[in-house]
Amino acid sequence: MQDNSEPKNIERRRFIRNGMQLALAGTLVGVAALSVKKTRASGMVWQIDPFKCVQCGRCATECVRMPSAVKCVHAYNLCGYCDLCGGYLKPDPNARSTAAENQLCPTAAIQRRFIEDPFYEYVIDENLCIGCAKCVAGCTSFGNGSLHLQIRHNLCKNCNECAIARVCPAEAISRIPADKPYQIKGGFRKTPAKDKG
Partner 1 sequence: MKRKHINIILVILALAIVFIIGKDFIGNKAGKNMDNPYKLDVDQFKKIDSTTVLYNEIKTFQVNDSSPKGIAVAGKQILVLTEKQLIRYDYSGKELSRFELPDTANCIAPVTKDQIWIGMLHSVASFDANGKLLTRWKNFDENSVITSLAVSGKTVYVADAGNRIVYQCNTNGEILSKIGEKNEQKGVPGYIIPSPCFDLALDDNGFLWVANTGRHSLENYNHDGSLRTAWGESSVKIDGFIGCCNPAQFAILPDNSFVTAEKGIPRIKLYDQHGVLQGIVAAPQLFDNGWYAPDLAIDVNQRILALDFDRKQVRIFEKNVNGNK
Partner 2 sequence: MNRFLKYIFFLVILAFGTVNSMAAESKQRFPKPEFATGYSQPNTTAPAARFQLLEYLDVTVLLAVMLILTWLVLKKRSRRGVFWVSAFSLLYFGWYREGCICAVGSVQNVVLGIVDPTYAIPVTALIFFLLPLIFALFAGRIFCAGACPLGAIQDLIAFKPIELPKWLQKVLGLIPFLYLGLAVLLVATKSEFIICRYDPFVGFFRWDAPFHMLVLGILFLLVGVFVARPYCRFFCPYGVLLGWMSRFSSHHMKITPSACIQCKLCANSCPFGAINEPVAETGKRRSNVYRLMVYFLVLPFWIGIGGYAGSKMHVQLSRFNRTVYLADLIIEHPEVKNDPNNIDVRTFMSLGKSMDKLIAEAVVIRKQFETGSLILGGFMGLVIGMSLIRLSTFRKREDWEPDQTNCLSCARCMPYCPVKE
21 interacts with partner 2 by CB under 8 A:
yes
Q: Report the DSSP beta bridge partners of residue 122.
A: 112
Of 75 and 181, CB closest to partner 1: 75
Which stretches of 42-196 are DSSP H helices?
Answer: 58-62, 134-142, 163-167
132: partner contacted, choices partner 2, partner 1, none (Cβ within 5-8 A by kind): partner 1
99: partner contacted, choices partner 1, partner 2, none (Cβ within 5-8 A by kind): none
User: What is the C-alpha to C-alpha distance for residues 197 and 195, in angstroms, rounded to an integer?
Assistant: 6
Of 28 and 99, CB closest to partner 2: 28
For partner 1, the binding residues in 60-89 under the rule CB under 8 A are 60-61, 79-86
25: partner contacted, choices partner 2, partner 1, none (Cβ within 5-8 A by kind): partner 2
Of 105 and 156, CB closest to partner 2: 156
User: What is the C-alpha to C-alpha distance for residues 106 and 104, in angstroms, rounded to an integer?
Assistant: 6
For partner 2, the binding residues in 42-101 under the rule CB under 8 A are 42-45, 54, 56, 64-66, 73-81
The answer to whether 139 and 81 are in contact (CB under 8 A) is no
110 interacts with partner 1 by CB under 8 A:
no
For partner 1, the binding residues in 141-170 under the rule CB under 8 A are 141-145, 166-167
CB within 8 A of 59, min separation 6: which ones? 48, 68, 70, 131, 132, 133, 149, 164
User: What is the C-alpha to C-alpha distance for residues 174 and 151, in angstroms, rounded to an integer?
Assistant: 11
The answer to whether 152 and 71 are in contact (CB under 8 A) is yes
50: partner contacted, choices partner 2, partner 1, none (Cβ within 5-8 A by kind): none
User: What is the C-alpha to C-alpha distance for residues 81 and 121, in angstroms, rounded to an integer?
Assistant: 6
| Residues near partner 1 (CB under 8 A) | 55-58, 60-61, 79-86, 91-92, 104, 106, 118, 132-134, 137-138, 140-145, 166-167, 193, 196
